[in-house]
A = this chain, B = another copy of it.
Amino acid sequence: MEAFSDGVLAIIITIMVLEFKVPEGHDWHALVGLGPKILSYIFSFVYIGIYWNNHHHLLHMVRTMNGRLMWLNLLLLFWLSLVPFTTAWMGESQFAATPTALYGIILMVAAFSYWLLQRAILKQHSGDSSFVVTMGKDWKGKLSPLFYLTAVLTAYVSPWLSGVFFVLVAVIWFVPDQRIERALGSR
């Protein structure tokens, strides 16, 4: 499951670049229009990078693979597979309200799918109290959808405000999941 998921994430992160069409002109001015697209790409690159890393850690926690986990994993990949589209639309529209809101919605639903997957994996460790306790707090997992929701709503006020909340989510996840690292280390 890891190889397939890694493959899908690697493809998602790379095909977003196909959206950068070769500009008409041959001078620096020709690149100006690309600005919002590149900013949009940077956001998505960081998010997919974060998912890849945490997802990787998470799958190592799986004790027994079953159909339920597999479908929850596919559900997460489904939402993430829509990120290249929402990234392109948000960039192309120069961060217009609706594309920015949709961008946030897809990330919010993906975050929720991740949380479902995590919860299903946590259940396999229900006896291991120390593990559940460290994971259970999970302030990152709870804060992210809230930040995404705020970004979705503020998109109609100002895309800059949305941008602030998108950056905030990236910042809190920037450091990979030390809870798991610690839990693993303490065994």
CA distance A63 to B8 in the complex (A): 27
CA distance A46 to B27 in the complex (A): 26
Closest B residue to A30 by CB, please name it: B98
Closest B residue to A20 by CB, please name it: B85
Copies of this protein in the complex: 4
Q: Does A84 contact B (CB under 8 A)?
A: yes
Known: A10-B4, A11-B11, A98-B28. A22 touches B89 (CB 8 A): yes
Q: Tell me which of A67-75, A112-120, A121-129, A135-143 binds B.
A: A67-75
- Decide: A81 and B4 in contact? CB cutoff 8 A: no
Closest B residue to A178 by CB, please name it: B67
**A-side interface mostly:** helix
- Decide: B20 and A174 in contact? CB cutoff 8 A: no
Closest B residue to A10 by CB, please name it: B7
Q: Does A26 contact B (CB under 8 A)?
A: yes
Residues of chain B within 8 A (CB-CB) of A175 are 67
- Decide: B10 and A8 in contact? CB cutoff 8 A: yes
CB contact between A26 and one of B8, B10, B82, B99 (< 8 Å): that residue: B99
CB contact between A6 and one of B4, B45, B49 (< 8 Å): that residue: B4
CA distance A92 to B30 in the complex (A): 13
Q: Does A176 contact B (CB under 8 A)?
A: yes
CB proximity of A66 to chain B, nearest CB, Å:
8
Q: Does A131 contact B (CB under 8 A)?
A: no
Q: Does A107 contact B (CB under 8 A)?
A: no
Closest B residue to A73 by CB, please name it: B49
Residues of chain B within 8 A (CB-CB) of A77 are 13
